[in-house]
Amino acid sequence: MKSALKVSTLLTILLINWSPIMQTSLGSTSFPKQGAWAAEISTSTHSPDNPETSWDKSWDKFWDVTISDIVVALCTLALAISTGFLVRIGHNQEAISEGQRTIMGQQKIIMENAQKTAEQSQKFTEAHSRHLEESTFLQDRSYIATKELKVVGNINQQLPNGSHKLSCEITFHNFGKTPALISTMCVSWSKPMPSNSPPIPQRDPKALMALWMLGSDQSEPPTIESTELSVADYQLIKSETNSIWLVGWVEYKDVFDKPHVTGFTRRYDPNFNVMLPVTGDGFEVRS
């Protein structure tokens, strides 16, 4: 396409530059007028009334053309051809430009999609990294919970003062893979209340505040919590009109310096002489 443009442009320049020269050098030169020869023929062979005389005159006018006129006609034809080539080349270049704009638009879309993919990949990598950290944390953190919680003694046995004693042995255990730094641990009996009003475990303001370490897969020494019940309370508990609960609360930190809490509420069952978990939200705390 570029070669055709160059050739057509060069031909146009040559013809335009050559035309004035030909007009100057050959402007006075003309083809021999056939009209003179035709006139002689008509004078010698035809009469004035001959109808062929007008045809001879028209033929003479047709041949009355100079070389400069032919050169101008050829230049005009060359210009027309060159202009046609230029117009066609212009249309082709416009189509090429439009194709290039389309390709650039598609490349822009591809780059935007690649950028979105890279952002999504980065988010996925960050989420995966957080998941690994959380998994490592969950696998290696400490977990303190009750390992054993049982009633000891005989609540039915009456004390010398006529009251009854209810005792429970509790053992806390670290089920995690790393030690726990315990700061608060408290277990206490609630007052006898209606069976539909269990207390929610919470931090006791009078709880013992101290710091001690509980190693991985180790247990605290069992502790026994006891409470005395009057004969009236004992009778209400035995008839399940009222109930009594054991409430526990433990605060500690793991090796990642993150705080955790374990809380629980257990109800005494006089029929089987055991401590039963209380169902419902808020009665079991794990964090």
Confidence class of residue 118 from pLDDT cuts 50, 70 and 90? confident
pLDDT, one tens digit per residue, over 236-253 is 999 999 999 999 999 999
Q: What is the mean pLDDT of residues 165-174?
A: 94
CATH 2.60.40.10 fits 144-286, yes or no: yes
The span from the CA of 232 to the CA of 195, in Å, is 15
* pLDDT value, residue 51: 52
pLDDT score for 46: 46
What is the distance between the alpha carbons of residues 139 and 178, in angstroms, rounded to a whole number?
9
Examine the pLDDT at 133 and tell me if it is beyond 70.
Answer: no
pLDDT band for position 180 (cuts 50, 70, 90): very high
Arithmetic mean of pLDDT, 133-141: 68
For the chain, what are the domain ranges?
2-30+65-107, 144-286
Q: 164 or 96, which is more confident?
A: 164
Question: Rounded CA gap, 258 and 270, in Å?
Answer: 39
Tell me which of 40-49, 121-130, 210-219 is least confident: 40-49
Residue range 80-106: mean pLDDT, rounded: 80
Of 209, 204, 157, nearest to 181 by C-alpha is 209
Orientation angle between helical segments 67-140 and 2-26, nearest 10 degrees: 160
The verdict on pTM exceeding 0.85 is no
Band of pLDDT at residue 111, cut at 50, 70 and 90: confident
Whole-number Å distance between alpha carbons of 26 and 73: 15
162 backbone φψ class: left, alpha, beta (φ>0; ψ -120 to 50): left
Q: How confident is the model at residue 17 (pLDDT cuts 50, 70, 90)?
A: low
d(Cα 166, Cα 228) in Å, to the nearest integer?
6
Query: What average pLDDT does the segment 265-281 reach?
Result: 91
- If one compares 159 and 207, the residue with the highest pLDDT of the two is 159
**Of the spans 5-9, 13-17, 256-260, which averages the highest pLDDT?**
256-260
Return the minimum-mean-pLDDT range out of 27-36, 103-112, 200-209: 27-36
> What is the pLDDT, as a whole number, of residue 138?
63
SS3 144: strand
- At 167, give phi and psi (nearest 5°): -125, 150
User: Residue 269: helix, strand or coil by DSSP?
Assistant: strand
DSSP summary character for residue 283:
S
CA dist 171 and 180 (Å) reads 15
